[in-house]
Amino acid sequence: MNLATLTVEGEADLLSELIDDLRLAVDSRWNKGDQLRTGGTHSTSGFCATVADTASPGRLLPEIRAFLEDYERVLEGKDRTRLSGELGVGITVGNSDQYIGSILFGASDMLKLGQLNLTLSVSAYPPSGQVHAGT
């Protein structure tokens, strides 16, 4: 399982437009002022959605690029400073199908993320149920 998730925070009306226009299946959503588990409240509204789920990292990058094109199209003419977000990428490693995994974001990918006011986070993790202890 190789995933890309989008977490965006900002003004509620623009967040709703993004969700509708991109037809996102939202995994979680919160509103400014909603209670946090820690006892505080959210300072902004936001959501988290999975934007790609593929069998290999090689298939993940084209899906991420296609999503970013759609994201950019939806934001065309809108004030992007009203939103901030993170593209989270997770790849599985350590099994017989994919012992080592990698994903290569080029300069143009990084530039696009910056233009869309998105940060990038990349994580590697073992497939569920396969935790290896050090010796």
pLDDT in tens, 79-134: 888 899 999 998 887 666 666 667 888 999 999 999 999 999 998 877 765 544 44
Place 33 in a pLDDT band, splitting at 50, 70 and 90. confident
- Alpha carbon distance 79, 91 (integer Å): 32
Nearest Cα to 113, choosing from 47, 54, 51, 64?
Answer: 64
Tell me: pLDDT of 28 over 90: yes
Which pLDDT belongs to residue 133?
46
CA 118, chain centre distance (Å): 9
Tokens of 6: 């989008």
Tell me: pLDDT of 73 over 50: yes
Tokens of 60: 């993940």
User: What are the CA-CA distances from residue 4 to residues 50, 64, 87, 121, 135 (Å)?
Assistant: 6, 7, 7, 10, 32
Which pLDDT belongs to residue 66?
96
Tell me: pLDDT of 50 over 70: yes
Using a pLDDT cut of 90, give the percent of the chain over it: 54
